[in-house]
Structure 1
């Protein structure tokens, strides 16, 4: 069956039923999604179901990172395809805070150094 005939068949029967596997192993079923939907539209459906912001979601299929603007059909996704969900980690806020107030970083550095010095003297 050619990719275009697969797409037509799926549209006639009401769309795809995708399995999305989270890193925890949890399987999330997304029912009746059009193969011509974008990856961003899939992420929005996952947000409705799981409360995860689309900008925190990274979707991977067959080892390939899925781009938000691509369609599901462009990845040859079928009903049996498993899409993997990886959450993006947020970070760096602490560094920005320290740069905004250098005295905080200096105080933290000196308190860590004092603790290290106390432990080091005990072991000599």
Structure 2
């Protein structure tokens, strides 16, 4: 995910990134020993007075190609400026909810 985010950032701003939001959308559990593939791409760039916001989407897929999870990462680059108009497909995950979980996560799935 970092490589995809940094692909749109000039070298002089690499050390000026602040980790903003990081949202996960989980579709199914990861199976022990499963081989996963992750692909990431920047989906939004917008300039602010004090820097640039880059939104990146990463998709994790199982060996059958089924979607395991999506991650939306927002990085803020202090001191950057954007001369291009803002481009964004960000936040499609905030659309209406299509399904609700039947039960909460088990204790082994809870991040501590």
TM score, norm. by length of structure 1? 0.21
Greater RCO, CA 8 A, separation 6+: 2
Q: Larger radius of gyration, structure 1 or 2?
A: 1
Structure with the higher helix share, 1 or 2? 1
Structure with the higher strand share, 1 or 2? 2
TM score, norm. by length of structure 2? 0.23
